Structures are given as C-alpha cells and as structure tokens.
Structure 1
Amino acid sequence: MPKNPPESVQLHLRQRLNAHAAERWPQLTRVHVRFRAGFAYVDGEWEGGERLPLCRLRFTGVLHTWGFALYQAGDDGYRDGILPSGLPAGSAEEALDCAGDLYLRPHAPRGSGPTRVAAGLVLLVGPPASGKTSFVRALIARGQIDEDAVVSSDEIRAEFLGTSPADADPDAADARIFEERDRRIVARLAAGRTAVAESTNVTPKARARLIAIATRFDAPVTMLRFTPDLGALLEQHAERDRADITVADIRASAAVMARHAGAGQLHAEGAHAVHDVPGRRQGTTPAEAAAHFSFA
C-alpha cells in the first residue's frame, strides 16, 4: 500500500490550500485534507459545517506537483482528471480551483465586490495567447488603469524592431527589450505608481528579475494568473494569427506554467497576492474579467 507523504508535507498542503481558499473561495470557511494510502482527499466546508468533497490529490514526491482526480458526485468516488494546463498533475491550488469551478462557483457570494489590487507591481503570468493583452485592453477601456501603466514586452519589441524582427540578433534584441522594460517599470514604481508587467512571466527566473525591482521600492507584488486549458489556449492562438509564435511554443510555455507557476510557488517567490483571471473556460469575456478587479 502506498505510504502517505511526511507530516511536514501534509501540514504544508493544508496550509497552502486553506490560504488559497481564503483568497479565491471565500464562501468556504475551511478546507479539510485527510490522507489515506498516499492520497490526499480534499473537502470544502460551508458556513454551518456542511462539507463538500472536491478532489483527490496524489503525492508525486515533488512538493508543488500533485496528481489530480475530481470528485464524482454521481458515483460518490473520484476519477482521474486533467487540469486546465492540459496535464494530469499540477499545483494543489490548480486542483482546488479546477474542482471549485465546478462545485463552488454556483455558490459564490453575491455582492462581494471586485478583488482589490494594491498599488505596486502587477505581474501578468500566463502563456502566449492566454488572454493577457485582451485583459489589459479591457482594463484601459473601462478606465481602471491608465494606458501608461502597462509595460508590454511585445509593444517594446515592436517599437524597437518594427515589422522586421527576424533581421535582428535575437539575444541582443531580447536584452535591449528587457532592459527598456525594466527602465519603464522602475520609473513607474519610483514615482509611486502602479506598473503592470505584460509579458509571459511563466518562469521563476523571469519573475525574480521583476520582483527584485519591486523590492528596491518596497512595492507590493500582485500576480494575476491566466490559466486557460490547453484546448482553449491553442484556439486563442489560432485566432491571433501570430507567425512568430508556434503551436510548439504555446505547448512548451503552458507546460512550464503548469510546473512553475502554481499559486503556492508564486507566494513563496514573494508575491503579496495571487489571483486567477477568469477567461473563456469560465465563459467570461475580457471586459467581464476586468470587472472582477479594482486597482488602487
């Protein structure tokens, strides 16, 4: 019989899931996790004490990666599932959100208002074609942020390289683009203004560079995650008609996101707050997603 993970891992999982639920699923008063035969069974508790089975996690031996099985109410059992990343395993927070989208969203509290984003550095975290640009355009159109707050690597690339990026040395071009991005972010934070870093930011290395800048100015870091399932991601990529990004690029970036951009890991890296941005998977338009947030 498979063994349960060490007590320290069990405690860490409970703490992570409860911290994430407090932020993402406030209708729950607590998340219960019980371990048996190498599996972690996750239940949500409503106010009043009623408990709802959500999912089952399988310890893979890696702290931030858990196999996922969704609770099946009809069978009163669990069935192995696929996370929005297109993978059968990912962070515990992704698993909770996947189950929550099915079982908890209909019970979301009414009138709870938009999620408040603190003034500081806002990192958009998501693969290409995950909806980041459409989201920030909606924020600007709604007057929630000013256009100058958005520091886009793609826009800087277009400014520097014009319509012939293939003619430039890619390493030198990237270095120049990211130096300029950092300069613009520094200028915003130094003036006490919010800067929205619009790039993929799916790797810890990319995020660490930006977090270090925020730390210099004692600016809080909010990370907004974009997590469409792989099918929706590829569909959105096809709609964009971007010749410079391939399907293989999309798949690779989504895989990196699944491994290295779970909510727990982002908090561990220094994020003050982590929020998931709803999208096509939830039947949400960019304007509706923008309405979920307000900016200081």
Structure 2
Amino acid sequence: MPKNPPESMQHHLRRRLNAHAAEHWPRLARVHVRFRAGFAYVEGELKGGERLPLCRLRFTGALHTWGFALYEAGNGGYRDTTFPNGLTAGSAEEALDRAGDLRLTPHPPGGPGPTPVPAGLVLLVGPPASGKTSFVRTLIAHGRIDEDAVISSDEIRAELLGAAPTGTDPDTDSETDPDEVDARIFEERDRRIVARLAAGQTAVAESTNVTPQARARLIAIARRFDAPVTMLRFTPDLDLLLRQNAERGRTDTTAADVRAYAGVMARHARPGQLLAEGADAVHDVPGRLQGATPAEAAAHFSFTRRTEVPGLP
C-alpha cells in the first residue's frame, strides 16, 4: 500500500492550501486535508460551515508536485484530471484553483480569463430582481449567446396570455386556472429546451429555479441528452434585492415575494446542494454588490455555442 508523506509534509501542505484559499477563495473558511494510502483528500469548508469535497492529490514523493483527481458529485468518486497546462501533475495550489473553478465559484472579475461554460443546459438560479434578465440581455447584445438560446418562463407566459390580465385567457376573456396556466408554460418551456439540447445547442433556462423540485425537472431533461448542467447563481443581499425590485417598477412581484424567494434560495440553493443535485459546475455571477455591471458580469463567462451530435450536420 502506498505510504503517506511524512507528518511534516502533511502539515506543510495543509498550511499552504489554507494560505492560498485565504487569498484566492474568500468563500472558503478553511481547507481540510486528510491522508490515506498515499492520497490527500481535500475538502473546502464554506463560511456557513458546509463542507464540500474538492479533489484528491496523489503523493509523488515531492512536496511541490502532486497528481490530481477531481471529485465528481454524480458518483461520489474521483476522476484523474490534467492541469490547465495539460500536465498530469502540478502544485497543490493549482489543483485547488482547478477544483474551485468547477466546484465553488469563479474568481472575481479581473481574474485569470473568462469562466468557460460548455454547450448544454444552463440554469439561472436567483430570486426575482436579482439581475438574471439584465445578464442574459447583455450576453445576447454582446454576441456571447444566441437570442434563441434563452428560454424565459416570463416571456412564454406573455406569449400565451398576451396583454390579458393575469389568470385570464386572451382568446375567451374568461378566468383560467393558474395551475393550468403554469402547466402550459412549463410544457412549452420544456419543449424548447428539448429542441435545443437535442441539436447539441446551449439552452439557458431563465427563471428563478430556487427550489430543488424546479431544478430536478430540468436536470432530468438534460440527462436525457447527456448534456452538461451549469448553474449560475445570482446572490445579491436582501436589501439590494428589494431596491432592485423597486427600481423595476413591476407590480406582479411584491417585496414580500422577493423576501420569500430569497429565503428559499438561502435554504435550498447553496453550491454544495446544487452540485449534489447533479450540477456539473456552479458559479456565482458578480453583480452590483461586487461592483460589477451587467457587461462586466457577462464578460466573466465564455459560452460554447454547440457540441457535435452524431447524425446532425
């Protein structure tokens, strides 16, 4: 059985990783490292106390060179991975950054290049007024995604109901069952997402998606096409959310609604839970709280438009 590194080396590795996390990963309160059979298992502890498996380092006999395997939430195991430079071994700090980019949140704007988002299903996760619509509109305006890539539940609702009052069928001017309306909206949304994923194209689901039930339905669709799932979280604090909601001037979402959605988000949409549900990557989108404009937030991500699908031109 492979041997663990000496105790002095174990202590040195823990100290280095915690120092690096303190400088580059402010969401981490601490990095935990446990050793077993020549491997170092690295976990990140978030400020709220939640612990996330990040990666596994393989001891090569040298303090500054480690093999690297990413933790895969889907199967609870580890997959040998190369570093960004293509090498199979590198520094522990590089491994932490690589795992953090995929398992935690991206570096702040101005960091080392845009965060890549593969073609597949992209779920926007955030309360009303958190900046989701401004973000996708900027992506479209700057040519980073196609307009048809964005599947908006609000826009589908407007298409189905037109200018009729909420709960009224525009064709008959009669009252409709809200549950029936929602079912029609979700059916049409799912149809559009299926069409894009089947063609190997990105589908951006623009809705709140703060509950596990809402996300599970969409993740199940992505799995039918073996499409990667990327979740982009919008996390302004409550005061900023309420100000942004007031600035929108909309009457269909009250301050109480915003508070309720924000509460659900805080309880049920933490990065660790999203990864456990099946997200392949989770990233926080910077906003006004971080001093980022929608254009700066959009520039923080690079979207792949399409993957090759056998049988399609």
Name 2:127's counterpart in structure 1.
Answer: 127
What per-residue deviation string (whole Å, max 9, x for no partner) do you get for residues 184-239 of structure 1?
00000001100000000000000000000000000000000000000010001001
Q: 1:292 aligns with which of 279, 288, 300?
A: 300
Name 2:31's counterpart in structure 1.
Answer: 32
1:129 maps to amino acid: A
Q: 2:244 aligns with which of 221, 230, 236?
A: 236
Are 1:137 and 2:137 counterparts?
A: yes
Equivalences, count: 217
1:32 maps to amino acid: V
Are 1:161 and 2:161 counterparts?
A: yes
Are 1:174 and 2:182 counterparts?
A: yes
Tell me, yes or no, if the aligned pair for 1:221 and 1:271 is still in contact at 8 Å: yes
Name 1:266's counterpart in structure 2.
Answer: 274
What per-residue deviation string (whole Å, max 9, x for no partner) do you get for residues 156-192 of structure 1?
0000011222323211100000000000000000011
2: CA distance between counterparts of 1:146 and 1:217? 20
Q: What is the alpha-carbon root mean square deviation over aligned residues? A: 3.4
Tell me, yes or no, if the aligned pair for 1:27 and 1:109 is still in contact at 8 Å: no
2: CA distance between counterparts of 1:281 and 1:120? 28
Cα offset for 1:32?
2.8
Cα offset for 1:109?
9.6
Q: Give the secondary structure class of the aligned counterpart of 2:253.
A: coil
1: CA distance between counterparts of 2:214 and 2:154? 15
1:166 maps to amino acid: G
2: CA distance between counterparts of 1:251 and 1:28? 23
Q: Name whichever structure is richer in helix by fraction.
A: 1
2: CA distance between counterparts of 1:169 and 1:30? 48
| TM-score (normalised: structure 1) | 0.66
What per-residue deviation string (whole Å, max 9, x for no partner) do you get for residues 78-110 of structure 1?
xxxxxxxxxxxxxxxxxx9xxx99xxx7xx696
Structure 1: runs of 5+ lacking an equivalent: 1-17, 35-44, 46-53, 65-95
Tell me, yes or no, if the aligned pair for 1:140 and 1:146 is still in contact at 8 Å: yes
1: CA distance between counterparts of 2:296 and 2:228? 25
For residues 108-127 of structure 1, the aligned pairs below 5 Å read 112-127=112-127
Q: 1:166 to 1:264 in 2, by over 3 A?
A: same
| TM-score (normalised: structure 2) | 0.63
What per-residue deviation string (whole Å, max 9, x for no partner) do you get for residues 106-146 of structure 1?
xx696610000011000000001000000000000110000
Q: 1:27 to 1:257 in 2, by over 3 A?
A: closer
2: CA distance between counterparts of 1:143 and 1:220? 22
**Structure 1 segments of 4+ aligned residues over 6 angstroms from their partners:** 26-30
For residues 56-75 of structure 1, the aligned pairs below 5 Å read 57=48
Structure 2: runs of 5+ lacking an equivalent: 1-16, 34-43, 53-99, 169-175, 305-313
Q: 1:255 to 1:179 in 2, by over 3 A?
A: same
